[in-house]
Amino acid sequence: MYKIGTFSRMTGLTVKALRYYHSEDILIPEEIDQYTGYRLYKANQVATAEAIRLLRACEFSVKEIKEVILNCEDPSDILYYMAEKTSHIDLEIKRLAVIKKRLIDETEKRKVVKAMNDYEVIEKTYDEVEIISMRYTGAYDQCGKYMGEIYKTVKGAAKDVPFNLYYDDEYKEDADIEVCVPVKKAIKTEGNVVSRRLPAESGLSVIHIGPYDEVGSAYQAINDYASKHNLELTTPLREIYRKGPGMLFKGNPNKYVTEMFIPFKS
């Protein structure tokens, strides 16, 4: 049998590493001298030590190495674990590629984001208006589907650009949203599509130019203005889509024009 120092030179694993793998029950010495405490290894443990060194070089974790070593009954078994690790790495590469693209896209978008100090908050009043609408509880990105259903009902009766009414005073994954299209006059509706008159209301308005997922700073500008002028904001807040994606193409989101309007109490 071989003392730990000799075994270290034979396998390319440091004495410190061998002691560690012993403590983790990965590579247990064949014998420990009861008088000196020396760890002693057998010749057939060299292959196991070399497999451990290979797995560490391939970035297997200690937990993974332990599982491989304990389950390898034949030297060729390790090939299956290495192939599986390769598949895991391929999936991780794809995951990181998605993150990388998101980082690049966000970096580029934020280069053109309108600075909050550029937002001009104004007080304005919207007159009452006849609308065709659908109200639902769900994700924000579902509103396009409902907007399409409304336009099938509205046809040529649309009077102005569409807008959404948001009834929650906070961000929610399942939001309370009413999708609206102003119309020239009340028209007959069916199912969940309704015709109603939206009353006049006064509030704060700001124009946001850019993607929809960057409107947070516009809302911040409105809230800062309200706080400064002692105005109490209420719901539903209104997002008016002055310029946005078409029915077939999204176009350039950096040129979308959205008006945020939040009513305040008289």
What is the structure's pLDDT at 116?
A: 47
Classify residue 114 as exposed, middle or buried by CB count within 10 Å of its CB (0-12, 13-18, 19+).
Answer: middle
The pLDDT value recorded for residue 113 is 54
pLDDT in tens, 7-44: 999 998 999 999 999 999 999 999 888 888 889 999 98
CA–CA distance, 214 with 220 (Å, rounded to integer): 11
Higher pLDDT pick, 108 / 180: 180
pLDDT on residue 171: 87
Between 138 and 111, the higher pLDDT residue: 138
pLDDT tens by residue, 101-134: 999 988 877 665 554 447 999 999 999 999 999 9
Predicted local distance difference test score (pLDDT) of residue 255: 87
Is residue 187 pLDDT above 60, yes or no? yes
pLDDT of 246 strictly over 80: no
Q: How far apart are CA 262 and CA 106, in angstroms?
A: 27
Placement of tokens 């674990």 in the chain: 81
The pLDDT, as a whole number, for residue 92 is 94
63-104 per-position pLDDT tens digit: 999 999 988 888 788 889 999 999 999 999 999 999 999 999
Q: What structural domains does the chain harbor?
A: 2-79 (1.10.1660.10), 116-263 (3.20.80.10)
Higher local confidence (pLDDT), 128 or 156: 128
Query: What whole-number distance in Å separates Cα of residue 249 and Cα of residue 260?
Result: 23
Mean pLDDT of the chain: 90
Whole-prediction pTM: 0.61
